[in-house]
């Protein structure tokens, strides 16, 4: 009896030891990578060396007022949580390739037969094998989806860069608008002195003095509103750099930097179609749908499971191999899986075509805004502003000579203010359209600017449609944070005169 127990224990130990060794060997195995998996991992490694070396955020640039705009863009790219989230989403999609193409884990089994005593004791090992080609097809679907994850990461990075540029230009031109209003306030104070001197010699009434004082009070209030709008813009600037609200407000570059646009105008659409991240992500979706069709056809292949058991109680040892095969019986289900995958592919192709059409329209509209603001800027800087300054000097001389009244003099002053503010607005829109076009050339989806409240996606919002201040209300200037193009910066609050000004421009 003791010898039988010894033999049983030896057999049991040998059987369990063999199963344990088999389990250890199996758990140390590695699957075969599918097509695209090695490339995806190499791509991750290349990007990670710059973006997240050793898996951690690299040292960020030190920001000062003397830092270049490129330093701020680098800081935002490395520090922005939205970019980091898109990066790790991409990494997760790459890891999903290995998960999808790997075999299921093996299973240790254990079975006993018990009557009055244990009559059989059968440890074993079982392994499931999906149908031929199923795992490779599933891995191909995941590999194509990971490409979409990369393009989403790139799009988020470009959108982050655009947010930095957009807020930077708005802050810079806000300071310009405050400067122009302060200069105009000084001009009004000079006009008040003229009105007082004329009133003292009975060549003007006290009404002229009061009108000048009223305009000064209104302009003082406008300057206060503009300065107050700096706070929300600085909060947007801090958010664009990915800095939490409990941290100190970052500095703003003191040196103005325009956005270069090196691509010729006739190549803008071609470049955008070649680089647009949304188109590339949709193309990856189509490839994933094609792989899903192949996977759907593989559903007709049966899955198998194989196992092996040994009865340690039997002498000699009883071995029990076994297996199972699934039966793909429901033909309508299999046909529906294929039809679903084919429909998804056709839907993806249609979305891709629609996006290409929309991109052509978006590029055309933004190119129009750029050309329009450039023309308006040239008109203001080369013609309207010089002539209106001459007109104001002529009106001042005419007022001192008693040839015109004070109302005409203030209208000339207000027209000069409007033209100065329109010039700032034209510069703002031009820089924003330049920044947007340059990033679209690099692959940014055009919708990113619309979501950011650009308001320059429609030709009707061009500066030429509102030159002279008619579309820029005082309400927009107070808030300065609206979503339309006119409210992007605090607008012109000067009232629109009802008659021709001294420069000959119809108001």
Which H, E and C letters describe 291-354, residue by residue? HHHHHHHHCCCCCEEEEEEEECCCCCCEEEEEEEECCCCCHHHHHHHHHHHHHHHHHHHHHHHH
CA–CA gap between residue 194 and residue 395 (Å, rounded)? 12
Q: What is the pLDDT of residue 326?
A: 83
Please report, for residues 7, 221, 225, 282, 306, the alpha-carbon distance to residue 228 in angstroms, rounded to integers and kept in the order given.
91, 11, 5, 43, 74
DSSP 66: T
CA–CA gap between residue 177 and residue 149 (Å, rounded)? 42
User: Does 208 score more than 80 pLDDT?
Assistant: yes
How confident is the model over 488-500, as pLDDT tens digits? 223 333 333 333 3
β-sheet bridge partners, residue 392:
none
User: Does 225 score more than 50 pLDDT?
Assistant: yes
The residue that leads in pLDDT, 260 or 507, is: 260
Nearest to 73 by CA among 167, 169, 160, 171: 160
Could you tell me the domains of the chain?
Answer: 31-59+70-244+265-479 (1.20.1600.10)
Mean pLDDT, residues 42-59: 88
Nearest to 84 by CA among 51, 62, 41: 51
Q: Are 271 and 117 spatial neighbours (Cβ–Cβ below 8 Å)?
A: no
> Would you list the DSSP string of 371-393?
HHHHHHHHHIIIIIHHHHHHHHH
Nearest to 278 by CA among 394, 440, 390: 440
Torsion over CA of 331, 333, 339 and 341, rounded to 10 degrees? -130
Q: Are 490 and 226 spatial neighbours (Cβ–Cβ below 8 Å)?
A: yes
The residue that leads in pLDDT, 474 or 355, is: 355
Q: What is the pLDDT of residue 24?
A: 53
With H, G, I as helix, E, B as strand and everything else as coil, classify residue 482.
coil
> Which of 150-154, 221-225, 258-262, 290-294 has the lowest average pLDDT?
258-262
CA–CA gap between residue 121 and residue 404 (Å, rounded)? 117
What pLDDT band is residue 88 in, cutting at 50, 70 and 90? very high
pTM of the predicted protein model: 0.74
How confident is the model over 136-181, as pLDDT tens digits? 888 888 888 888 889 889 889 989 999 999 999 999 999 999 999 9
> Which of 28-32, 255-259, 267-271 has the lowest average pLDDT?
28-32
């Amino acid at each position: 009896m003791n010898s039988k127990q010894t033999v049983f224990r030896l057999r049991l130990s040998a059987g369990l030891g063999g199963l344990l060794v088999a389990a250890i060997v199996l758990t140390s195995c590695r699957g075969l990578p599918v097509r695209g998996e090695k490339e995806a991992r190499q791509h991750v490694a290349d990007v990670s060396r710059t973006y997240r070396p050793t898996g951690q955020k690299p040292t960020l640039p030190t920001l000062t007022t003397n830092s270049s705009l490129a330093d701020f863009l680098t800081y935002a790219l490395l520090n922005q949580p939205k970019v980091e989230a898109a990066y790790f989403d991409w990494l997760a999609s790459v890891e999903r390739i290995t998960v999808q193409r790997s075999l299921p884990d093996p299973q240790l089994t254990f079975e006993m037969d018990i009557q009055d005593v244990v009559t059989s004791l059968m440890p074993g090992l079982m392994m499931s094998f999906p149908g031929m080609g199923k795992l490779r097809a599933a891995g191909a679907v995941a590999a194509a989806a990971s490409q979409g994850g990369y393009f989403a990461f790139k799009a988020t990075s470009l959108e982050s860069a655009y947010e930095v540029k957009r807020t930077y230009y708005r802050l810079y031109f806000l300071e310009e608008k405050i400067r122009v209003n302060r200069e105009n306030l000084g001009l009004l104070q000079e006009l008040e002195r003229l009105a007082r001197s004329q009133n003292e010699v009975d060549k003007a009434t006290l009404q002229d003095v009061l009108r000048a004082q009223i305009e000064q009070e209104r302009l003082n209030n406008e300057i206060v509103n503009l300065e107050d709008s700096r706070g929300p813009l600085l909060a947007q600037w801090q958010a664009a750099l990915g800095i939490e609200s409990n941290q100190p407000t970052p500095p703003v570059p003191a040196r103005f930097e325009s956005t270069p646009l090196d691509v010729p105008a006739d190549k803008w659409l071609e470049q955008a179609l070649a680089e647009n991240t949304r188109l590339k992500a949709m193309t990856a979706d189509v490839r994933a749908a094609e792989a899903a069709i192949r996977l759907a056809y593989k559903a007709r292949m049966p899955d198998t499971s194989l196992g092996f058991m040994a009865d340690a109680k039997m002498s000699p040892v009883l071995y029990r191999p076994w297996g199972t095969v699934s039966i793909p019986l429901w033909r309508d289900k299999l046909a529906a899986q294929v039809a679903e995958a084919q429909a998804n592919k056709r839907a993806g192709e249609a979305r891709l075509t629609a996006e290409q059409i929309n991109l052509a329209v978006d590029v055309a509209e933004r190119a129009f805004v750029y050309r329009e603001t450039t023309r308006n800027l040239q008109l203001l800087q080369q013609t309207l502003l010089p002539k209106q300054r001459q007109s104001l000097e002529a009106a001042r001389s005419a007022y001192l000579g008693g040839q015109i009244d004070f109302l005409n003099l203030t209208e000339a002053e207000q027209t000069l203010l409007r033209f100065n503010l329109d010039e700032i607005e034209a510069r703002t829109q031009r820089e924003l359209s330049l920044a947007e076009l340059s990033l679209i050339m690099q692959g940014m989806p055009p919708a990113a600017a619309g979501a950011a409240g650009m308001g320059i996606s429609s030709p009707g919002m061009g500066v030429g449609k509102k030159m002279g201040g008619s579309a820029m209300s005082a309400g927009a200037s107070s808030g300065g944070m609206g979503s339309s193009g006119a409210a992007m910066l605090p607008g012109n609050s000067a009232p629109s005169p009802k008659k021709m000004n001294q420069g000959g421009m119809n108001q």
